[in-house]
Amino acid sequence: MDSMLLLHLMSEFSPEKIRVIYIDHQLQSTSADWGRFVSEQCAALNVPCIVEMVDVQQGNLEHQARTARYQAYAKHLTPHDILVLAHHQQDQAETLMLRLLSGAGVHGLAAMKQLDVRDQLTIWRPLLNLSREQICQWATQLNVQNIEDPTNLDTYYDRAWCRYELWPVLQNRYPQMQQAINRTTYLMQDAEEILHEVLQQDLRACGSVTQLDLSKLSQLSNARQRQLLSAWMKGQDTYRPGFDMVERLLHEVIASKFDAQAALHWNQFYYVRYQQTLFRLSAAEYLPDPEQTDQLSSSIQLELNQTADLLSGQYVTETAEMGLSAALLAKELQLQQRQGGEKIHLYGRVGTWPLKKAIQEAQIFPWQRHRIQILSIDNVMLGVFTPKGFWLAQSEYCEVGGWQPKLIS
């Protein structure tokens, strides 16, 4: 009823600038009929209508349906569009109650904003201050037709249980409960705005979206540390991690032994500490590619001004003040992944020393070390490809005016 009332009001308010998106979750046998009903109502009002079918993934049905719905919206919205939703006052109160029961903090208890401006989406909820009773009365006066989804009455789902089981009990005891809960959401939204300002200051002081300086983080109070980590882990996602996940990050990763390589996996990212920095890494950055790492050795031919894609990045072969002999160009050279125990005599340095020590001195992150490859010919080390560039090795093939691979990306 609320959505159909919103359609009628918007068709009067801004008839030339609106269109409707009906999301068919395909969870009901009659959902296609509902889509046709909405299309017919839109046609009668001269409003364009899009019917979008989505596949809801396994898991928490309400959460997965919401995710699928917003992904579908994103397909049809331009940067200048506003998504108008029909949430009302009771929806808001139910949201706060359910989030309270799930252990939400200030961000969760702020619930829904009437005007919600996000990075790539603006949402307007013009009915948010109206009660369900007002909406029913208005819809009756305007003779608004609607179809009721039977799952809205199924108390197996949390929101329906809250609406039909919990709500009457509480409202019988507290008649003004709905208005009081909505006042709480406004207070929480104020608190969230203040907290957001503090978080932005702390984030600028401690790092960026991909890394945090742990020495600066430690200077904050425990409460500010937890809030900053929670917001930082959330990133561009919809939801923050749970309290337990933030605690795990603090104790298992940040407070781990200095030489430990502890990592926490949450929501497709890996959280890793290296020395006094905490990193947020994608799976592609953190995990070795089995197809690449399974091939321990291979061969390569290099030509001047040509690029080569290696595990550590893309290189271009250029002339250099000191480099490898031109006689090696276009020859078959060997590439060997680092196995451990290798030694290298870096050009310009005295003596041979462990490659591991050179890697540590260059502060190459542990999760990048599987990308290191040794270039050689006839068991003579020519150099090493690393995420920080090519290291020329002292050998009989070094000459003035030779060539070297240069890391370009």
Whole-number pLDDT of residue 252: 94
Q: Which helix (H) or strand (E) holds 301?
A: none
Q: Does 265 share its domain with 316? A: no
Q: Does 12 share its domain with 106? A: yes
How many domains does the chain fold into?
Answer: 3
Whole-number pLDDT of residue 149: 83
* DSSP bridge pairs for 265: 270
- Whether 192 is in a domain gets the answer no
Q: What is the CATH number of the domain that holds 82?
A: 3.40.50.620
Q: Could you tell me how many helices (H) and strands (E) the chain has, helices first?
A: 15, 20
Whole-number pLDDT of residue 294: 59
Whole-number pLDDT of residue 107: 86
Q: Summarize pLDDT for 73-83 with one digit per residue, the tens.
A: 999 999 899 99
Among 407, 323, 333, 319, CA closest to 374: 333
- Whether 8 is in a domain gets the answer yes
Residue with tokens 């690449």: 292
Whole-number pLDDT of residue 382: 95
* 3-class secondary-structure state, position 50: strand
Q: Does 320 share its domain with 249? A: no
Q: What is the CATH number of the domain that holds 267?
A: 1.20.59.20
Q: Does 311 share its domain with 375? A: yes
Question: Side chain identity at 123, as an amino acid letter?
Answer: I
Q: Does 111 share its domain with 244? A: no
Q: Does 59 share its domain with 85? A: yes
Whole-number pLDDT of residue 343: 92
Q: Does 220 share its domain with 86? A: no
Phi, psi angle pair for 404, to nearest 5°:
-145, 150
Q: Does 126 share its domain with 234? A: no
DSSP strands (E only) in 75-189: 83-84, 115-117, 122-124
Which two tokens mark 79?
Answer: 């940067």
Whole-number pLDDT of residue 235: 86
Range of the domain at 322: 291-407
Which two tokens mark 152?
Answer: 């809205």
**What is the C-alpha separation between 3 and 18, in angstroms, rounded?**
14
Our measurement of the distance from residue 75's CA atom to the centroid of its chain's CA atoms, rounded to an integer in Å, reads: 18
Which two tokens mark 163?
Answer: 């609406």
pTM of the model: 0.69
Whole-number pLDDT of residue 357: 93
Q: Does 40 share its domain with 54? A: yes
CA distances from residue 284 to 236, 246, 368 in whole angstroms, order as listed: 18, 23, 11
- Whether 196 is in a domain gets the answer no
**What is the C-alpha separation between 45 and 139, in angstroms, rounded?**
16
Q: Does 275 share its domain with 380? A: no
Q: Does 263 share its domain with 338? A: no
Give the residues of the chain that fall short of pLDDT 50: none
Our measurement of the distance from residue 190's CA atom to the centroid of its chain's CA atoms, rounded to an integer in Å, reads: 25
- Whether 136 is in a domain gets the answer yes
Whole-number pLDDT of residue 293: 58
- Whether 186 is in a domain gets the answer no
Among 54, 65, 3, CA closest to 24: 54
Phi, psi angle pair for 376, to nearest 5°:
-150, 170
- Whether 180 is in a domain gets the answer no
For the purposes of burial, counting CB atoms within 10 Å of the CB of 101, is it exposed (0-12), middle (13-18) or buried (19 or more)?
exposed
